[in-house]
Amino acid sequence: MKPGHSVQFTGLKGAAHLNGTDGTLVRFNKAEQRWAVRCEADQNIVNARPENLVLRQYEPEPQPRERRRRAGPGGIGGGAEGPTMGSVMAAGRGADSKEEYYLRTLLALGQQAQAANERGQGSNAQELVVDAVGAIVDKGEMDGDAGERFVKHLHRRTREEEARGNGTNAEIMGFIDTVLITKIVDRLARQGPKDRPVTLPKWLHGSLAGSKTFNETMKSGGAQLARVAASERTRIVDEQESDEDEMQIPVIP
């Protein structure tokens, strides 16, 4: 079994409802001797013992000469060691909104970047997530109300993943949120007059507050506590009805 292989759950007791359903191997945790598996039905990540997984058919690795960047809408694609557009786009199947579709595809990229990082190949894979977020932002998909809907959806889903115990997914979503801030600010800076402060929309204030809280809590509390504290701070700021002026921040060089 290797990351990317398709498997079927069997013999599970604590999550018997998954028996007979399919999933995709993400990474193997040597310490716990369990596979992290992305469920095909809802794209959630669960941990399972090898004896509870049956290997199904899978496509063999392409030859080196066949490995090439496959670009998709907005320039999102996989590098020589990265995911194909097909595998990433498939992650969004079943999404009931554009916000959930974008989130699932970005999460799929993030999960593969996480796996690549554990193999010592994380830098290029992580750049795929950054490039994908940048492509979506540059297309104008995060402008105005559309951006607010996605950011609020991202924050809500991050809290849900943390509550389910899916810390890895919550961490990836936090990374997506951080990259999103940078890309949106960069787009606003390019659209506005040079040498002028960028006016950040109020719906991004929660992202900034959460990022700051995460960094502060990490110094003493660890990753899990930092994620929980950041999510709660983000929720509070998102729900605030404030009449304060929109935040101004310097132009990113």
DSSP letters spanning 201-250: -GGGHHHHHHHHHHHHHHHHH-HHHHHHHHHHHHHHHHH----SPPEEEP
More confident of the two residues 167 and 3: 167
41, two tokens: 């039905």
Other C-beta atoms lying within 10 Å of the C-beta of residue 63: 7
CA-closest candidate to residue 109, choices 83, 134, 133, 131: 83
**To 10 degrees, what angle do helices 98-118 and 167-191 make?**
110
DSSP 15-51: TGGGTT-EEEEEEEETTTTEEEEEETTT--EEEE-GG
Q: Is the pLDDT of residue 250 over 50?
A: no
Question: pLDDT by residue (tens digit) across 191-222?
Answer: 877 767 778 888 889 988 888 898 889 888 88
In 3D, which of 13, 19, 7 has the Cα closest to residue 54? 7
At 138, is the pLDDT very low, low, confident or very high (cuts 50, 70, 90)?
very high
pLDDT of residue 155: 93
CA–CA dist 28, 25 (Å, integer):
8
Helix axes 167-191, 223-239, angle to 10 degrees: 50
* Mean pLDDT for the chain overall: 77
Biggest alpha carbon distance in the chain? 62
- Cα–Cα distance for residue pair 55/3, rounded to 1 Å: 11
Confidence of residue 89 (pLDDT cuts 50, 70, 90): low
223 vs 120, higher pLDDT:
223
Look up tokens 């960028």; give the residue. 198
Q: Cα-atom radius of gyration of the chain, to the nearest Å?
A: 19
Backbone angles phi, psi at 229, to 5 degrees: -65, -40
Q: What is the reported pLDDT for 121?
A: 62
Tell me the average pLDDT across 170-175: 90
